[in-house]
Amino acid sequence: MRMRMCGLLVAAALLATGARAARPWTVLHTAWGDPDLRGRWPLDYLAQTPRNRPAQYGTRAELTDAEYAAALKAAGAQAELYAKEVKIGKMGMGHWTERGQPLRQTSLTTEPADGRMPAMTAEGTRRAAGMRSSWSEQSWDWVDDFNSFDRCITRGMPSSMLPGVYNSGIEVFQSPGFVAIRLEMIHETRLIPLDGRRGPAAPVKGWLGYSRGYWEGNALVIETRNFLPGVPIGNVGTNPRPVPSSEAMVMKERLTPTGPDTIRYEAWIEDPVVLTAPFKLDFPWRRNSDYMIYEYACHEGNVQLRGFITSSRAQRASGKYSPPPDAGVGRR
């Protein structure tokens, strides 16, 4: 967890506008003939572009010139403040985060037209009411009162392919018949066969699902199914409660090279059990060979859960615990 100051201002204009490289280029291929996507593709520069579009933009997909200039100015001022704090030895909470540069687009979600995750179904609302975590509760009894992110198991999908507040590195490896996507946060690796093999039977499920890939021209297409249900589709938070995935969720991704060191990443997510409509994510990737991927040592999941549970039990036993009005929603 650290603030990566280097590279935040590099190539901002190109990425923010989604512009393609002006000079002619040819997609490189591996020795066995596949388009070469290998390298480190950190997403730290995307942290100032919201996943869901702020309501004031409506269906507008991009910032105006004036709005974008103001966003860049604010990002520059923030970077200068951090640099000054480092110089004087004062490092606040902001230094744990990676904020990067804002894109020109108003949100990472591009479909539906309002750029926001669709509303939940009645079943989705029912399941969401049972989602408990350290972000939304004040009392806990056992480890399953915490979600998979609390327990440092997984961010789930599609969140694992989105920027976080830190440790937002992605690294792509390739070998004949396989692509592997290494995720810095929660230290997971997605292994994607390209040889046409069938996925596992429906009862076999995984935190990140089971992926199968194929090439369409120079674009890598990945289809993922068989997700374990109950992992937050959206970011964790208290209002509203996280949207939980269901066993019916399907995710299709497309990685299209757009320049020597850029990729267009697109992901379509549908879950008819919990969402009233599908949604799409669409944003640029930038290769950065200098980016260092570090160990993600999530000690909250190792030791802090015991502290939450034992302190909650002690509070209740002492009679000093006053639950909030919605406490116990969805308890087993």
Flag whether pLDDT at 166 surpasses 50: yes
Q: Mention every residue, 6+ apart, whose C-beta is less than 8 A from residue 261.
A: 39, 286, 287, 288
Residue 241: name the closest of 108, 112, 130 by CA. 130
- Alpha carbon distance 260, 288 (integer Å): 11
Flag whether pLDDT at 330 surpasses 70: no
Query: Within 13 Å and on the Cβ side, how many CA atoms surround 180?
Result: 9
Long-range contacts of 15-23 (CB under 8 A, 24+ apart): 15/45, 15/101, 15/103, 15/262, 15/284, 15/286, 16/68, 16/72, 16/101, 16/102, 16/103, 16/104, 17/104, 18/103, 18/104, 18/105, 18/284, 20/258, 20/259, 20/262, 21/258, 21/259, 21/260, 21/262
Q: Is 276 helix (H, G, I), strand (E, B) or coil?
A: coil
Residue 116: name the closest of 251, 285, 234 by CA. 234
- Alpha carbon distance 45, 169 (integer Å): 10
- Rounded to the nearest integer, the mean pLDDT of the chain is 84
Q: What is the mean pLDDT of residues 225-235?
A: 87
The predicted pLDDT at position 88 comes to: 81
Q: Is 302 helix (H, G, I), strand (E, B) or coil?
A: helix
- Alpha carbon distance 288, 39 (integer Å): 8
Which tokens go with 199? 């996925």
Q: Which residue has the higher pLDDT, 144 or 202?
A: 202
The predicted pLDDT at position 305 comes to: 82
- Alpha carbon distance 318, 329 (integer Å): 22
The predicted pLDDT at position 94 comes to: 59
Residue 271: name the closest of 249, 239, 302, 238 by CA. 249
Which tokens go with 324? 């909030």
Q: pLDDT digits over 237-264, tens only? A: 444 577 889 999 999 999 999 999 999 9
Strongest mean pLDDT among 12-21, 147-156, 280-289, 295-304: 280-289
The predicted pLDDT at position 144 comes to: 81
DSSP code of 29? B
Which residue is listed with tokens 């990002």? 75
The predicted pLDDT at position 303 comes to: 76
Q: What is the mean pLDDT of residues 186-205?
A: 93
